[in-house]
Amino acid sequence: MFEEPFGAVLVVDAGSSSLHLTVFDDDLGVLAERDSSSAPGDHAVGLLRQLLHEAPAPVAVGHRVVHGGPALREHLLVDDHVRDALDGAADMAPLHVPPALTVLDAARDLLPDIPHAACLDTAFHAGLPAAAREYAVPGAWRERYGLRRYGFHGLSYSWALGRAAELLGRRPERLQVVIAHLGGGCSACAVRDGRSVDTTMGFTPLEGLVMAHRSGSIDPGALTWLQTRHHLSAEEVDTALNQGGGLLALSGTSDDTRDLVRARAGGDERAGFALDVFTHHCRRGIAAMAASLDRLDALVFTGEIGEDQPEVREEVCARLTTLGLTSGLQVPEGATVDRPTVVSAPGAAVPVVVVPTGEGRQVDRETRTLLRQHQA
């Protein structure tokens, strides 16, 4: 059905140490953008003003929010009730949600007369089956504290699923795929018939795969042992796992796989060790996700590492032969956000697809969908 154009939409992606502002037109073309490599704060208003001076006036603002908490399970237009509910989710993702709310408040003050949408990474996983969703912990913890698997990177998964389906000539609701989002944060997701049925991240974005400077999963008994036997505080543990873990901790030099691949080639054994641990956990996570599917129609890589690091893709797939994957992946030339690529050999039993990340574009799409629903 033909959809009438709305006009420009401003997309806000605020991270723990960065801020990305983009104005899209009705065809997902970029009209203007601004980036900051510092944590969102007082400078956010100035950056917003600069962008708005360069671009057409937006008809709406879409905000990427990592965690919706137990109260918010779908993308929503922001009112005071929704804003209060987002406050309740802030301590579940303290590195991500507070900066997003800082910019949300600044944008609502600056643009009070247009709709603002909260586009939640957790929304994609809201329908997780109970067996995948629930932790084996006391019922009071689950009911009183909302302790469950929420899952993240949902906007990235939504975009990657749609682009991979188009490339493969299949409808998303007919596909069973594993998608691996590998970047600063890393996770894998099992998608059956267009819906998330399992994912490696859990209550917070800390669980699951090894990441840039986040540890990923660790025996919870080890954490209580560190606190009771060695008297580490909860704050010390939290800081170490979220900021001093992952590739940075393993290599001792860098949390960037590009640096580590170069260092390994130069003989740095710790860099090679870090990459070995990283790819091992990727394989284990992907295999675990495949166990939630009836078949594997494709493996999809996205995220900065997933799209830009062929060495990582090769090492992951070369040792997943039990899933029908093989080595010898191609290196795509000039892949763009609008051009996903099959990198497996022609006729491969399981196609391997690279989809450049498009979270901002997915926020734009979800925002426009909310506007249409609101106007209907």
- Tens of pLDDT along the chain (376 residues)? 346 678 999 999 998 888 999 999 999 999 999 999 887 877 888 999 999 999 999 999 999 999 999 999 999 999 999 999 999 999 999 889 999 999 999 999 999 999 999 999 999 999 999 999 999 999 999 999 999 999 999 999 999 999 999 999 999 999 999 999 999 999 999 999 999 999 999 999 999 999 999 999 999 999 999 999 999 999 999 999 999 999 999 999 999 999 999 999 999 999 999 999 999 999 999 999 999 999 999 999 999 999 999 999 999 999 999 999 999 999 877 555 568 999 999 999 999 999 999 999 999 999 999 999 988 6
Q: Parallel, antiparallel, or unpaired: how do β-strands 76-77 and 116-120 relate?
A: antiparallel
Which residue from 204, 168, 207 is spatially nearest to 300, judged by alpha carbons? 168
Model pLDDT, residue 15: 83
- Asked if 359 and 155 count as a contact pair (C-beta separation under 8 A), the reply is yes
User: Which entry of 121, 198, 268, 364 is annotated as an active-site residue?
Assistant: 121
Look up 121 and say whether it is catalytic. Answer: yes
Contact 178, 198 (CB under 8 A): no
Which tokens in the block code for residue 6? 């709305």
What is the structure's pLDDT at 41? 79
Which residue type, as a one-letter code, is found at position 117? A
Contacts of 258 (CB under 8 A, 6+ apart): 308, 309
In the prediction, which pLDDT does 359 show? 96
pTM here is 0.95
Task: Give the pair of three-digit tokens for residue 197.
Answer: 């049925």
Asked if residue 237 lies in contact with residue 203, where contact means CB atoms within 8 angstroms, the answer is no
- What's residue 2's pLDDT? 41
pLDDT of residue 42: 77
For residue 274, what are the CA distances in angstroms to 312, 317, 349, 355? 12, 18, 30, 25
Q: Which of 67, 74, 63 is nearest to 110 (CA)?
A: 63
- Nearest 5°: the CA angle 115, 119, 122 is 155
Pairing label, strands 19-24, 9-14: antiparallel
Integer angstrom CA distances of residue 14 from 106, 130, 261, 360: 12, 31, 29, 11
DSSP string, 292-354: TSSS--EEEEEHHHHHH-HHHHHHHHHT-GGGT--S-----SS-BTTB-EE-SPTT-SS-EEE
Around 169, how many Cα atoms within 13 Å sit in the side-chain half-sphere? 0
Q: Are 312 and 278 in contact (CB under 8 A)?
A: yes
Residue identified by tokens 């070369």 is: 318
How far does CA 354 lie from the centroid of its chain? 15
DSSP element (H, E) containing 10: strand 9-14
What is the Cα–Cα distance from 287 to 63, expressed in whole angstroms? Answer: 33
pLDDT computed for residue 336 by the predictor? 53
CA 150 to chain centre: 12
Report the distance separating Cα 218 and Cα 239, nearest Å. Answer: 14
Strand order in the sheet with 176-182: 195-199, 186-192, 176-182, 298-302, 352-354, 341-342
- With beta carbons less than 8 A apart as the criterion, state whether 156 and 199 touch: no
